A and B are shown apart, each in its own frame.
Chain A
Amino acid sequence: MPVHEIKYRAVEGELSPGPFRILSVTKFTLLAVMNKWVATTLMAGSGQLLVYGTIFLIMGNPLVRQALQVTQVIDLPIPVILRNFILIQLFICIIMANIAGPRMISPELAHRALPVIYSRPIGRLGYVAGKFLALQVLVGAVSWVQVFLLFLVMWSVLPPEHLFHTTLWTQSIPLMARAMLIAVLASLVVSLFGLACSAATKNFRYAVVIFIAVMFGASFVSRVAQEVISSNMPDIGLFQVFMTLTDQLVHRVRGVVDRPVTGALLSLGVWCAASLGYLLWRLRPVDVYGE
């Protein structure tokens, strides 16, 4: 029936279950976030995989090296490659979260769309889960997904006699698992923190500033506390925490455990709990009216 002939009709048929509604939040959040320059920046960030792939092909495959007449290649140990890779990815991950995260909730707070969203059969947790998934699509793509792809690239490109293949089950896979875990933690913390900053203010520009200020502020406070009070003070800055964790990738292989990772993991737990707690508190249904 043409639309102009329909006055009003009731909805018939089955309604979709809860998880699909959460995915709707994810889908429409990504559509809303993706304005021109944000999309371009994010695409550029994700395009790095192509660059890494090319470098690996050149450095890892002797035939390619021979063809390109590359004679001097520093053969870095795999843990060092992973460590450097994760640290670079962490920066990209933070930039991604800082570009996309603040745009996820702030605009909905600004024009008070949350009361009508909450009037749908989706709870606060469902809404937050949908937003988290949306940010994970972007942040996860440059963190744990990249580490996994790196593993696949190494597995397919490195020659069979390489240490990677000869110690695949004893060293390479456990190492990769640890690296994946660090990358997953990084994307988790950064996503939750990005969303918490977005929920803190109605203006996404302020959210960007809050994100940078808190992240650098925590690192600064952590450094000062370690220098002024005691060097045994736990790291609370995300950069230091991830430095500690990624260092372990190298040190564990060498049998050296210079700093326990318990403090670093605890700090990450605090970041996650504080971000999630603030997010859920800030988005209480009765508070989203902005009265």
Chain B
Amino acid sequence: MTFIKAQTDPPNVGDPQSMFTVQYFDEDGNMTIRSGGTRAWRCNNPGNLHRSHYSMSKKRRAIGFARDDKDEYAVYPDKETGREALTVMLRGSVYSPMTLRSALAHYEPKKKDYIDIVADKTGLDPERTIKSLNDKEFKRFWQAVEFVEKWEVGREDFIERWIIAGVHKKRGVIFEYCIRISKGCIWLQKTEAIALASEGRLHASIVHLKNGTAYLRPEYNAKPFELLT
């Protein structure tokens, strides 16, 4: 499953704003909601990179951003892409000429013992520059950064976006929709189907008429609904 888009969803009842949930959408329109866990996990962003010119650039392949009332964080399709954003940043023009000590003071100025934890976990000399690290040493370095940023898995809920497999018509007007779900098919009245579509749970577009009524039609470029008898 490849996620192509992500956005913030409100926190679960009773949770603070900072515990916002994140909605991920795959190519079929199915939704996965991540809640709980650390923000790094919810955003697939192990370095906790803010939304910025760098973190949201095409090369970094962010699929959206998530926010509470104060901060905005980049959201990546998976952990590997998020990790790549972190490591490319650390190897980039801002960080690579710095010593590990000054790099971590720049990374998080308020955590004075960041370098002590990283030095302790990696055994690297804090006075070495990032660009002097070989690949193995650099891996130990970013793994230690990820450790401090903390990656804790929370809860994932999968919400399938259903397909309209067929319709019933009466005097040329659709009144029932056959919805294909994982365990077979169910028939829904028109109003129920419209309600589902408005929640983004159906592959269909809602058309609102001037007289206040609404109907469903296939998504752009999709086949017409099949009339079942």
Partners in one complex: no
Residues of A within 8 A of B (CB): none
